Amino acid sequence: MTAPPDRPDPDALLTLARREGRGRLKVFLGAAPGVGKTMEMLAEARRRLAGGTDVLVGIVETHGRVETQAAIGDLPILPRSRLAYRGQELEEFDLDGALARRPGILLLDELAHSNAPGSRHPKRWQDVEELREAGIEVWTTMNVQHLESLSEVVARITGVRVTETVPDRVLAEADAVELIDIPPAELIERMRQGRIYRPDQANRALRGFFREGNLAALREMALRRTAERVDADVTGYMRANAIAGPWPTADRVMALVGADPSAEIVLREARRIADSLKAPLVALHVEQPTADPAGSPGHALRLAEALGAETETVVASDLPATILRQARMRNVTRLVIGRGRPGWWRRVTGRTLSAVLLRRATEFTLHLVPEPAGAPRSLPPERRGLPAWAGWAATPALVAAATAVGLGFDGVVPDGALGMLYLVPIVAAAVGFGPVQGGLAATLSFLAWNFLFLPPRYTLTIAGPQDVVGVVVFALVALLLAGTTGGLGRSVRAAQARVAGLRRLVEFSRRLGAAGDKGDLVQAIAEEARRLAGGPACVLLLLPPLPGEAAPEPVVRACVPLDAEPDEASMAAARWAAANRRMAGRGTDTLPSVAWQFRPMRTARGLAGLVGLRLPDAGGIPDAEASRALLALLDQATIALERAELMEERAHGEARAETEALRTALLTSLGHDLKTPLTSIRGAIATLRASGPALSEATRADLLATAEEETARLSRWIANILDMVRIENRQITPRREPVDLAEALETAAARAARVHGRQVSLDLGPRPIAPRLDPALLDQVLANLLDNALKFSAPHGEVRARIGRDGPEVLIAVEDDGPGIPRGDLHRVFDPFFRATRTDRVAAGSGLGLAICRGLVQAMGGRIAAESPATPTGRGTRMLVRFPDA
């Protein structure tokens, strides 16, 4: 939305707000090495240091120059960090040291420098970004050839390709840019004197990069880029302070782009004017609410972007006022518009756009671009699928129908009132076919009413003064209705088209949200693209490039219909679009002869994929609303694909983390639960072998018992591992038969008492309870639950077990009075290798017992849960196992 002319522009205020809290950035910009950027920066820094400012030299490259070393003077220097790389020790800027030191001004030479491998950021300008986010003011230097947008231009001029570049936005977001400039002849003289490079390097540079023509071209680039930056500062200041322009500080050209065929001619003429003035170009399209939805300037705006223009689209009803407001906001000095072919009524009344701008745009230079001779006049679009002649045929029919109704009421309704019947065909023709047809209906209605119903009848004569007043009022009302309802009809159709497009977009967003996986997602994108384009469509995703290949390979992942795949010639366009991240194929400037058009889906992380459309017309998608909807589709599809990729990466990351945790737990268990019994067994056997005859009978029996106990423990651990593998691979098939729970629990409790030397309190409840279970699996579940409870209960505490019915289920509860389980770990106690408590007092274990219980219980159709605390004192754990009651 555009701010009123007397208020600051919200975008300009937002730009200022973003700078609040960030450190300032000052760039000393030069045309080439040796112009004196570093010397000027150091001189200014010494002046600020003398004034009491905390200045710190982060890094200054002297390149062995004595003058530069002397210019540092008494400025404090931040020690460099040292990085080991391929057997060498490299010195680099210490980013962490600068953040900890937090100087008032930090000097960083050579903004385009690439950091040594192992640094936090690969580029120095990224270090500067982090410093600014921390609120530190940075001064830096750079040459104009290091700007990313100028690297190709510099390579063509000088024959030297710059590999270290800085994004243009870094310079655009700088708070101050100071140009350091000297004439090329003086710079060459410095080079010959050895004040820039060593003599051997200077001779090579003078024969190559440092030729006078090259330096003059680079100097022009630096001057121009600095002028553009100053112009942007002036425009931003004017917009932030609601100052109406233009300020004639520099030329700026605005091309007014409409939906008519002359828009491209206007753009090319505006580009020529801007190039001759060395001025920036802005392309403005004002979309009116009453505009026909079939017309779209999309192709013209894409041409504007290709010509290097800044594009802007606003919605407003007052076309001239909006154009002038936008021109003043952007400090434009020249307006370029097409002469067009307005209607005769606008020409007679002086209401053409060019005439209004000539009267009101007194502070601008206006350029009128005529249409070329022989240019075809654009035909009015068909409405609602009807041909253009339908309105001219339907309008007389509507008037005739109203006349027939009037003849039916003749003599019943007064003559003057019969004229009101004719307002119906006037409104219907204006809404259905436009104001011109509405005006025709008004004229025919007036003639029919006057001829057939007003006295004297069957003549066009008006008899009385009251009829004259009625006729005049009727004519005014009819013409007013024709004009207003015609505009209303266009507004309604435009609104309906936009609502339909919005509804399609919402439905498509819902489909994207409901897609199960990436395959479903690309299929939904292909189906929607086919519906919008009216022809076959496909979605291509990118395979990572193979070794030796520079670009990824696009691969078709979804086609609608299934047999409509791009041919090999079209795939060449797809590869070009993937490599250059731009449209290619039919209707574009690249490989336009192929049958398919490919549109990239770009994200902040790179290219997500391509959408391919097989278009019958080389001009692209003819329906403007469909073209706009397709652009929205690409945006939504790109976001959905990026979200799907992030979810896949997250799932893979979680799987890797879970696998790593499981591996760590398994190694830990191996290191403790396997090593301990082996050590005990080996110690017992070694003692018996070395001192067997000398040992007493009791000692030998104790050593053998220890070896036997540890062997049994080791066997149980291996058995648990094998059981866990069987459960994970779903190799357990229960053998179901009625099992007496009381008898099974008594047997398991007796065995646990023999192993641990402690009794288990049993509450067997009403008998018999005999669900259909696997006796062997149930016995292992009970043994593991009781073993776990006895391990973690107090040394002389009580372990209780009970059985009973809980609604349609049978319940087994095992409860101890141990330390309990933290509430946050209750959902994890059944995970493999997890142990809620690890103390020296607690018996060793692998953490597999409860995991095996869960797997076996689920295999038998039951469920298991843990509760803690289990006693009023806040201690203890209760394990609950439920099975369906047979």
Tokens 């979200």 locate to 643
**In this structure, which long-range contacts are made by residues 515-524, counting pairs with CB atoms below 8 Å and at least 24 apart in sequence?**
515/640, 515/644, 517/644, 518/641, 518/644, 518/645, 518/648, 519/557, 519/558, 521/640, 521/641, 521/644, 522/557, 522/558, 522/609, 522/641, 523/558, 523/560
How many alpha carbons lie under 13 Å from residue 107 in its C-beta half-sphere? 28
CA distances from 214 to 2, 152, 166, 172, 627 (A): 43, 14, 21, 25, 45
For the chain, which residues make up each domain, given as ranges?
A: 10-240, 253-369, 389-492, 532-629, 732-884
CA distance 389 to 173: 56
Coil, helix or strand at residue 3: coil
Cβ distance 560 to 527 under 8 Å?
yes
DSSP summary character for residue 567: -
Type of residue at 9: D
Peptide bond into 455 cis (omega under 30): no
CA distance 636 to 254: 31
What DSSP string runs through 380-402? Answer: PPPBTTB-THHHHHHHHHHHHHH
Other beta carbons within 10 angstroms of residue 807's beta carbon come to 8
Angle 369-370-371 (CA atoms, 0-180°, nearest 5)?
Answer: 120
Which residues, listed in sequence order, are joined to residue 737 by a DSSP beta bridge? 773
pLDDT of res. 209: 66
Tokens 């001025």 locate to 279
Closest by CA to 800, choosing from 870, 867, 874, 884, is: 870
pLDDT of res. 247: 57
CA distance 142 to 33: 9
Architecture of domain 253-369: 3-Layer(aba) Sandwich (3.40)
Tokens of residue 279, six digits? 């001025």
Q: Mean pLDDT for each 10-residue chunk of the chain (886 residues)?
A: 52 56 86 84 90 90 79 88 78 89 91 83 87 90 84 72 81 85 79 67 63 75 75 61 58 84 84 83 80 60 76 80 84 84 63 80 85 51 54 81 81 71 76 72 77 75 63 64 58 60 61 64 84 85 70 85 86 87 80 86 78 74 63 77 76 71 59 67 80 79 79 69 62 80 88 82 81 85 86 80 87 87 77 58 58 83 86 83 84
pLDDT of res. 463: 61
10-240 belongs to CATH 3.40.630.10: no
CA distance 535 to 583: 18
CA distance 634 to 628: 10
The 10 Å CB-count burial string (b at 16+, else e) for 630-663 is bebbbebbbebbbebeeeeeeeeeeeeeeeeeee
Tokens of residue 688, six digits? 């018996």
CA distance 139 to 55: 10
Cβ distance 137 to 175 under 8 Å?
no
- Rounded (10°) angle between helices 697-728 and 675-691: 150
Judge if 10-240 and 253-369 fold alike in CATH terms: yes
Closest by CA to 636, choosing from 617, 664, 611, is: 611
pLDDT of res. 480: 66
Residue 452 main-chain phi, psi, to 5 deg: -100, -25
732-884 belongs to CATH 3.30.565.10: yes
Hey, what CATH topology would domain 532-629 get? Answer: Beta-Lactamase (3.30.450)
- Rounded (10°) angle between helices 697-728 and 849-859: 50
CA distance 870 to 815: 7
Type of residue at 2: T
Torsion of CA 821, 827, 830, 834, to 10 degrees: -60
